Amino acid sequence: MSRGRAAVASPHHAASRAGADVLRAGGTAVDAVVATNAMLGVVYPHMCGVGGDLFLLHHEARTGEATCLNASGPAPALATRAAFAARGLDAVPARGPLPVTVPGCVAGWEAALARFGSRPLGELLAPAIAAAEDGVEPTERLAGWIAGARELLAAAPLLRERFLGPAGRRLRQPELGRTLRAVATGGAEGFYRGAVADGIDAAMRAADGLLRREDLAAYAPEWVEPVRARHRELEVVVTPPNSQGVTALMMLNALELLGAERLAPGTAAHVEALAAAARAAYAERDAYVADPRFVPVPVERLVDPGAMRRALAAPAAVPARSTLDGDTVYLCAVDADGNACSAIQSLFQGFGSGFVAGDTGVLLHNRGHAFTLTEGAPNALEPGKRPLHTLMATLAYEDGRLRYVLGSMGGDAQPQIVVQLLDRMLRGESPQAAVDAPRTVHGRILGEGGGELVWAEEDVGPALAELEERGVRVEVVPARDERMGHAHAIALGPGGAVGAGADRRSDGAALLV
């Protein structure tokens, strides 16, 4: 593992280069993350962009303080359960205008820069603006996502024109470039008010959507206290509810109780411990985690090891997840002064809602699909409420010193991937080796028969056959399968040296400066 004094990692090499250029010019970790994120919205438009949400954790080297910015948006004022019932719906649909909540990303950029940045927003967005207007060469992975979403993209004239042209054509997004220019000159005001907001409002009204200009104008991100818990020699810090970050802390508690650190990764016993930890932690998550402004979330109880001991002893709960999917970007940076930013940003499912707001070029997320319409449920839809978010970011400290900055794309499976990555680095593996290692994910099967299974990359090894002998249903996926998440990590050593790893399941790069 090569080492430097600053680093950035993301799932696309062009975005990582944009962030590295900022670090090289003396920018802060937040400066680098904003530049990287903006570029990702152009080169990975299926996974992220200004139409989505953002969470970030920041470590300030001068004070040692960890802070969290929750830039996830709420349901519109018109998004009542009655509004969906009147449309004959018993669930929030996955696509179209109805699952769109307020996108928090742009306001999050501005808030983070105001507190921890050193460069103007316009300067940081310039590379992304140029890429949107001049066009980029789609990677093989992006081309595959476009092919898989052909029906969704074909239904929207602008998306059809931009994404479904002749093979080999550069991907140009001039409408998005124009919106980014409005943000570059006007900041969050240029997105949540004025022409961009008017365009979103008009498109929503025309399509019987619920988001309005007033929802956008009222939005502000929130600085919140992260959630912390001990794991072995570390203090692990995660994004708090409405993020699912506490799920990773619960899994870590469970793994300690199960003695998983004594089990070799990839063995049947270790995979079964991971599955047991996930089963218990996700059951607790689904029962209690929601927007704490609307629902009391017993965070202290959830991260207490005693509670997890009881959860492990309880009858088997509904397993963690139903499908392998992940359409999010995780990115991280450490600057030359030792400040760090761990960030995650998303449109939720691939290409989000599939709804683009008029000629703004803003592809809006479908985060409202995560709500339930069941009255009384913690994550039940209410106007102004933020949904339970799969997005989570992580920092880890040892004796008060920042040691790891890490996270992963992967939908519901993000806590499972983060736990495996952290486990391997604690065993002495470099960030790149830990990111490269084979993964497993525990989940459930929908449809006829149901039941539990473990998804496993094919190079997990002999454990696969042993698991099946023990009666565990295993579904093998190819090694370095993108569906098993894009994880990235930065490790900080004594004296300020850093090492970084980017996931080869993505088009990413970890660059040292």
User: pLDDT over 90 for what percent of the chain?
Assistant: 89
Measured CA to CA, the distance from residue 372 to residue 383 in angstroms comes to 13
Say whether pLDDT at 29 is over 70. Answer: yes
Say whether pLDDT at 114 is over 70. Answer: yes
**Which whole number is the average pLDDT over 157-170?**
89
Say whether pLDDT at 264 is over 60. Answer: yes
**Which whole number is the average pLDDT over 472-478?**
91
Say whether pLDDT at 425 is over 90. Answer: yes
Consecutive H or E run containing 96: none
Closest Cα to residue 126, out of 180, 165, 74? 180
**Which whole number is the average pLDDT over 153-164?**
96
Measured CA to CA, the distance from residue 202 to residue 190 in angstroms comes to 16
**Which whole number is the average pLDDT over 283-310?**
96
Strands of the sheet with 222-224, listed across from one edge: 222-224, 65-71, 53-60, 340-346, 328-334, 7-10, 509-512
What does the block give as tokens for 27?
A: 């920018």
- For 53-90, how does the pLDDT look when each residue is reduced to its tens digit (9 = 90+)? 999 999 999 999 999 999 999 999 999 999 999 999 99
pLDDT band at 1 (very low <50, low <70, confident <90, very high): very low
- For 90-111, how does the pLDDT look when each residue is reduced to its tens digit (9 = 90+)? 999 999 999 999 999 999 999 9
Bridge partners of 55?
70, 344
**Which whole number is the average pLDDT over 394-411?**
96
- Of 436-440, 444-448, 508-512, which gets the smallest average pLDDT? 444-448
pLDDT band at 2 (very low <50, low <70, confident <90, very high): very low
* Residue 372 annotated among the catalytic residues of the structure: no
**Which whole number is the average pLDDT over 184-209?**
98
From the list 328, 372, 394, 440, the catalytic residue is 328
- For 482-508, how does the pLDDT look when each residue is reduced to its tens digit (9 = 90+)? 999 999 999 999 887 899 999 999 999
State whether residue 236 is helix, strand or coil: strand
Backbone angles phi, psi at 283, to 5 degrees: -65, -40
Say whether pLDDT at 462 is over 90. Answer: no
pLDDT at 496: 79
- The ranges assigned to domains in the chain are 7-223+326-370
